[in-house]
Chains A and B, each alone.
Chain A
């Protein structure tokens, strides 16, 4: 099936095609039996359905030397399994934009619908993808990710929390919310309605999570602008050591309630198994260790978009009505990044991710990372290398972002926990934008609203698919 009769010195790209068994594979077969001439750079891997094509397959192909990837399956309404391609379309819409943000040049990955009768279209997809990737050249940038090379720093003009000026304690420890909170906790514990109240307390380095098991200790609870931690993480079924405490009551800000809703939506938590104490919130600080005014310089980045002043998903709501938080003065890094050329974006992430030590703190603090065994910990096969080299780090952070698509509530705990100060939230924020723009979805504390990944609409946008 080669169109190159003469030996050539030009670069011959290696392209891996992941295709579905029923349409594209059959279409490719038709192209072959019809003796259609096409580039011989494509190696086909046949899978039952595009719905079976994990974004990790694409990552793995590049890891193993591919210069380009084709993903192809049945046209909408043609899926052998009714809806596999609709699900795949949503997933790849997100993944495609993530790859773009990471710095992949357009054309490294081709998505197409090719039916069993479209041998000619398959010929065209193969020839076009081959020519595009040939022009882009070998994907050495990816292939050499594991080589030892110090990465330079790409500056986005990032002003972070480390530079924020702390002010004298501006918190009112005995404010209305705190008095109500302590009284409620005392009652819940004294009446035996819960075994533990999870809230915040004063720790050696500022506010921190508190576990109150006795009514007499309820006075330890605080709530102020330093209470940034998302306590929904303690409701995850992975926290087996918390089970012995009995039924939990958890103090939730409006944003935390969204994470609780996520756990309920994904059947990790029964609504009746938890008592939710909502607190009215006017924004929290990015850094819970230092008391400060919530100002444009100190406000947690996630509060900028927050429209909720009190959680709807709550059994009790305490505190005085709160005003909207100030708009963050931090530059919009995502916008700066999106304005860059692909090579600059690639350099930015290579520099940032070069500091990743693969401690997986980002995963462990995430309220929605509840898998009993994470794909990154699986070794048979080892889908994601555990080494902290560029290859392993890219695979991990891309996977984390795509696995949280439509599930991330934007609490920012991953970025706050990162001991390497990697702006991980940018990946999640990008995905959140895709969710809003394509699927009209924003994180909500209503557990009845389905996750946009896992459902679909027949008219979902598909401009990225040939």
Chain B
């Protein structure tokens, strides 16, 4: 039994053939590179989903030099990208929550303009393209103001380029 155990220990202690290690490492690097591409694609999807809001993610520290990265360096980039994806999703969730709140405010404005005088919501706050602004304004100007006739209006949008 002891002899068997000793043989087993010796077998484990023997270094693996160099070619095998190189092949293993090469496979691991390939897998990590695949992970980097997938993470990059998921970050891109998250950033695009937030548009026109800009998530403004902090850039990751990088070498500014293109080179073959070893296993440790690839893992480091993967971990940072995973962190950045998490941050992007958190920010996107905040954007979605703010847009939902803006939509609820707009619904309230539409249901009860008089009760929401002075309220303004931009298209951007709603996550919509364009520069229009929803606001509660008096119908027929000063007369509407005196009579309490209020309505919700959408401004015409972006100023023309000069």
The answer to whether A binds B is no
Interface residues of B (CB under 8 A from A): none
Interface residues of A (CB under 8 A from B): none
